[in-house]
Structure 1
Amino acid sequence: MTGVPVRGVLLACGGMTTDVGALPKTEKTSWGTVFVLALATLIAASEISLSSFTLPLIGAEFEVSPGATAWVLLAYTLPSAALALPAGRWVDGADLRVVYLAGLAGIGVFSVLGVLAPNLPLLLAARVLLGLVSVGFMACTMPALVRAVRPEERGRAMGWLMAVMTLGATGAAPLGGWVAAEFGWRAVFLIKMPLLVVVAVAGARLLRRGDGRVPLPGRGLLGEGAVLGGAMTALVLSVELVDVALVPAVVVLVVAVVLGVVWARLRASRPVVAVLRSAMAGLPALVLTLFAVSTGLTSFVLPYFVSDVMRADAGLLGTAVLCWVGVMSLVTPVAGGVVDRIGPLPVAAVGAALVGVAILLHLPLGADAGLGDLAWRLALLGLGAGLLNPAVSTAVLRSVPDEQAGVAGGLTNTARTVGLVLAPAVSAAAWSAGGFRGAIGLLAGVACAAFVVAAGAVVTGRRTRSSD
C-alpha cells in the first residue's frame, strides 16, 4: 500500500453528502457522552448473543428446521455487514443527534414487531428492518465520539467504549437464556427496552444539536450499498454452504469477490478506496480482519475440542471463556490510555503477538486437559485482544479527517464483520484437514500474519513521519 492524500480524495470525489468544513475543536472530553455511546452500542452488540437463545424455541413454535431459524440471526447481521461502509459515509452528512434518536426509535418499533410476528417470514422481515435501522444508528458512534472527546484522549475513550460493550454483551448472554426459559422467546427481544429508553433520554441531553439535516441517500450511495450488499450476502452464503456443497460454496465465493471488485471500481466508492489504500488505515483494517478470523479458536475450535476430545460439557468452556472476557474488559481501558501516550500501532502489534502466542500455547492440550489449562491460556488471549482492539480502531480513526469519522467507523465494522464471517469456515476446514492441532496451527498463523501486518504499519508510519 502507498500513502494517499486521503483528505483531498475525500473532498474531491462525488457521492459525499456533507459539507466538509472542519469540526469545532473539543475543549473538554465529555465522558458522560462516551459512557452513553458505549451503552447505546451495547444494544446492537448484544442482539446476536440474546437472539441465539431464542432459536430452538422459535423453531418449535413455527415448526421449522434449525437451518431456517439461523436466518433470524442472518436477517439482522446481513444489513449490518452490507451497509456499514455506505452508512458511515451517509451519516457524516447528517445531524448525528437526529439519526441517533431515530435509530433508537426504529430499534424499539421493529423489536416490538418481531415480538408480535405470527410466523417466521414476518419475524424475518422485522429482523431485516431492525438490522437496517441498527446499521444507521451504529454509524453514529465514531462521529459522535470525535465530537465529544479531545484528540489526545480518543484511545482511552475507545477503550472504555469497548470494555462496556464486551462486558455487557457477555452478561446479556445468560440473561437471555434465563428469560427465554422463564417467559419464552418473545420476551427476549424486549430485554433491551429499559436500556433503550435510558440511552435515548441521555443521548438527547448530551449529544450536540445539529442543523436537523438528514439527507436522502443519493443514487451513487444506493448503488454502492446494493453492490456491497450483494458481495457481503454472497460471502455469508458461501460460508453457510461450505459444509453442505463445496463446489456451490466456491462459486458463490467467486461471486462475492467479483462484486467486491465491482464495488471498488464504483465512483461513489472512491473515498473509501482511497482510505483503504492509505497504509495508516488499510493496514490496521487488515489487522482487524485477521484478528477476527483468529477468533475461530473460541467460536469453533475450543467448543469441539471440549466436546469431542475432553468429553466435557459446554459449561466448562463457558467458565474458561469468562477468563478471556474478564481480562479483555479490564485491559481494554488501560490499553486505550497507552495508545494515547505511545500511539496505536505499536500497541496493536504487541496485542497481535500475544494473540498468536496464546493460540499456539493450545497445541499441547489433550484429552486430560482441565479448566485451569484452558483458563490461563484464554486469559492470555484476552490480554492480547484487549490491547489490539482499541489500538486498531483508534489507528483507523486517526487516518481520516474528523469530519469523515463515519468512514472510519464503517471501515472497522466491515473489516471486523468479514473476519467473523470467515472464522468458522476457516476453522472448520482446518479441523477437517488436520484435526485440533491443524486448526490451532492455522489460526496461530493467521494471528502471526496480523502481527506482521501491524509491525509493517509501525515501520511505515515511522518512515512517513521521518520524511515529513
Structure 2
Amino acid sequence: MPERNRWSVVVGLGLVVFMATLDATAVAIALPAIERGYGVTTTVTEWVVLGYLLPLIAVSLPAGRWLDGVGLRGAHVFATAGFGLSSLAAGLAPGIGWLVAARAVQGTFAGILFALGPMIATRVVRPEARGRAVGVITSLGPLGAVSGPVLGGLIVDGLGWPWIFYLNLPVCLAVILIGWAGLSPDRPLVPPGRTLLAEAVVLGAALVAGMLALSLAAGRHPAWLLLALAAVPPLIVWARMEGSRGTRALIRAPGVAGPLVTVMLISMAAAAVEFTVSFHLQRVAGLGPSAAGMTLLAFPAGMVPAGLLAGLLVDRWSAAGTARLGALVLAAGLALLVPLDATWSPAEVLWRLGIAGCGVGLTNGPAVTLVMTRAAGDLLGTAGAAQSLARQLGFAVAPALVTTVWAGYGYAPAGLRAAMLPVTAAAVLALVALARSRTARPAEDDLAARPSAADA
C-alpha cells in the first residue's frame, strides 16, 4: 500500500492515454490531406487508421500478461517513450508505407499504455482513492476518442496533419519525467518472449477476420459469414495456448465477467450514439459539419464531469452501485434519443446527449474499478488489458451495428431511429450484467474499507 497518493502519476498517465486515444480518431479527419500529400488512393490511406487499430487490439492481452511480470516504472517509461518516438516517426514519414509502419508501432505501444493505465492507477493511490484514480484514466481516455475529430480538424487546418503526431512528443516527455520521479524501482524490465509474440499474431489473425466480417455484414455482403467463421480457428488456437490461462482465470474470478461485459456494452453504446446522431443531424436535420460537431460535444461535456463524480462516489459509496446508477442514466438518455425527430432543434438533441454522456461517465470508471479490484494480485496487467480489449471491441462493433440496421430501412431516417433501439438495449443489458455479477463477499464493493488484490 502506498504511503501517499501519487496523483501526478495518475494525471500524467491519463494525459498520455488521452493522446493515444485521440490519435485513433483524429487521424481520420486528416486522411484527405494525407491522400493528397502522398498521391495515393483512399483504399491505401485507410490503412493509416487500420494500421493503428489492429495491433492496438491484437497486443492487448499479450501485453497484459507481459505487464504482470515486469516492473511498473520500467514498463511506464518503455511504453510512453515508444509511443512518443513512433509518433515522431509517423510525422516524419517520407511515404505512405513508412507512415503505416510507424502507425503500427504506435498502435502497439498504445495497446500497452491502455493496459497499463488502470494497473498503475490502482497501485499508486491508497484504497480510499482508487475510484477517483481510475476515474481520471477512464474519463480522459474516452474524451480523446470523442474530441479527436474536432481537435484533429483544428490541427490539420492550422498546423498540418503531421502535427497530430508531433504534439505527442512534449506530452510523452513530461509523462516520462513524472513517472520516473513518482514510481519506485521494482522488478526489472524484460523483453516479451516468443510465446507472447505468437499470441499477438494468432489474436491478430482472428481480429482481421472479425473486423472484415463486421465491415461486410454492414453492407450485407454474403461473404461476411465466411470471414466470421475464419476468425474461429485462431481463437481456438489461442484458447489452447499457455498464455490464455491467465485471461480464462480472470474471467472465471467472482464478479469480473459482468463488469467486463459492461465495459464493452457501454463503449458500443457510446460509439453508436455518436455515429447515429451525427448522421441524423447532418442528413435529416440539415446541419453543417461544424454545427453538428458542436452539438455532439454535449456528449463528452456530460461524460467527463460525471466520470470524475463517479470516482468520488466509488470511494465514498459503492463501485457496483455507481455503475448500476450510470447504466440506468445512460438507458434513460438513449431512450430519450430514440425518436430522433427531424423537427428537433440542436438544443433539443444537445440536452439528451448530455444525459447519455453522464450515463457513460457514471458507468465506465466504476466498471473498470470493479474489474481491477476483483482481479487477483498477479493478474492486474491481464485485467487492465481485458478491459481495454472489451472497450475496443465495443467501439469496433458499434458502426457495423448501426449501419446494418440503417441499411435494412434503405438508409432512410426511420433506420436511424430503429438503430437507437438496440443501442438502448445495450445499456439495459449492461445493467443486467452488473446486477448478475455480485460476488460472494458482502463487502466487495466497499473499496475504501479494504485493500485491493494489488495490496495482498
Provide the secondary structure at the position in 2 that maps to 1:457: coil
Aligned position for 1:449:
429
Deviation at 1:109, TM superposition (A): 2.2
Number of residue-to-residue matches in the alignment: 440
Aligned position for 2:108:
132
| 1:91–1:140 CA contact under 8 A, matched in 2 | yes
Deviation at 1:418, TM superposition (A): 0.8
Of the candidates 53, 56, 65, which is equivalent to residue 89 of structure 1? 65
Distance 1:154 1:464, change over 3 A: closer
For 2:345 and 2:273, locate their aligned partners in 1 and report how far apart those are by CA, in whole Å: 16
Distance 1:204 1:350, change over 3 A: same
Moved more, 439-448 or 102-111: 102-111
Aligned position for 1:55:
31
For 1:360 and 1:105, locate their aligned partners in 2 and report how far apart those are by CA, in whole Å: 43
Could you tell me the percent identity over the aligned residues?
A: 30
1:210 lines up with 2:186 in the alignment: yes
Provide the secondary structure at the position in 2 that maps to 1:247: coil
For 1:445 and 1:171, locate their aligned partners in 2 and report how far apart those are by CA, in whole Å: 25
Stretches of structure 1 lacking an aligned partner (at least 5 in a row): 1-24
Aligned position for 2:251:
276
| 1:293–1:420 CA contact under 8 A, matched in 2 | yes
For 2:443 and 2:7, locate their aligned partners in 1 and report how far apart those are by CA, in whole Å: 34
Structure 1 residues 250-275: Cα deviation after superposition (integer angstroms, max 9, x where no partner): 21122223422332232320111111
For 1:167-206, what aligned pairs fall within 5 Å after superposition?
Answer: 167=143, 173-206=149-182
Moved more, 109-118 or 421-430: 109-118
Structure 1 residues 106-145: Cα deviation after superposition (integer angstroms, max 9, x where no partner): 2232222222222212211111111122223333223322
| 2:295–2:350 CA contact under 8 A, matched in 1 | yes
Match of 1:449, as an amino acid? L
1:298 lines up with 2:273 in the alignment: yes
For 2:274 and 2:229, locate their aligned partners in 1 and report how far apart those are by CA, in whole Å: 25
Of the candidates 90, 93, 111, which is equivalent to residue 114 of structure 1? 90
Deviation at 1:279, TM superposition (A): 4.2
Moved more, 456-465 or 154-163: 456-465
For 1:242-257, what aligned pairs fall within 5 Å after superposition?
Answer: 242-243=217-218, 246-257=221-232
Structure 1 residues 402-440: Cα deviation after superposition (integer angstroms, max 9, x where no partner): 342111110100011111111000111111225122101
For 1:406 and 1:48, locate their aligned partners in 2 and report how far apart those are by CA, in whole Å: 22
Q: Which runs of 4+ in 1 moved over 6 A?
A: none
Moved more, 312-321 or 408-417: 312-321
1:72 lines up with 2:48 in the alignment: yes
TM-score of the two chains, using structure 2 as the length reference: 0.90
Aligned position for 2:309:
334
Structure 1 residues 338-363: Cα deviation after superposition (integer angstroms, max 9, x where no partner): 11233222221221122122111112
For 1:194 and 1:68, locate their aligned partners in 2 and report how far apart those are by CA, in whole Å: 30
Of the candidates 333, 342, 359, which is equivalent to residue 367 of structure 1? 342
| 2:275–2:399 CA contact under 8 A, matched in 1 | yes
For 1:140 and 1:436, locate their aligned partners in 2 and report how far apart those are by CA, in whole Å: 37
Structure 1 residues 165-215: Cα deviation after superposition (integer angstroms, max 9, x where no partner): 45556556444322212332223221222212211221211111124x222
| 2:17–2:114 CA contact under 8 A, matched in 1 | yes
Aligned position for 2:366:
391
For 1:164 and 1:464, locate their aligned partners in 2 and report how far apart those are by CA, in whole Å: 26
Of the candidates 334, 352, 363, which is equivalent to residue 327 of structure 2? 352
Aligned position for 1:19:
none
Moved more, 108-117 or 195-204: 108-117
Match of 2:430, as an amino acid? A
Distance 1:302 1:172, change over 3 A: closer
For 2:161 and 2:365, locate their aligned partners in 1 and report how far apart those are by CA, in whole Å: 34
For 1:134 and 1:437, locate their aligned partners in 2 and report how far apart those are by CA, in whole Å: 35
Structure 1 residues 320-373: Cα deviation after superposition (integer angstroms, max 9, x where no partner): 222221121111111112112332222212211221221111123321111111
Distance 1:431 1:199, change over 3 A: same
Distance 1:169 1:453, change over 3 A: closer
| 2:70–2:190 CA contact under 8 A, matched in 1 | yes
Deviation at 1:464, TM superposition (A): 9.0
Distance 1:147 1:279, change over 3 A: closer
CA RMSD of aligned residues (A): 2.2
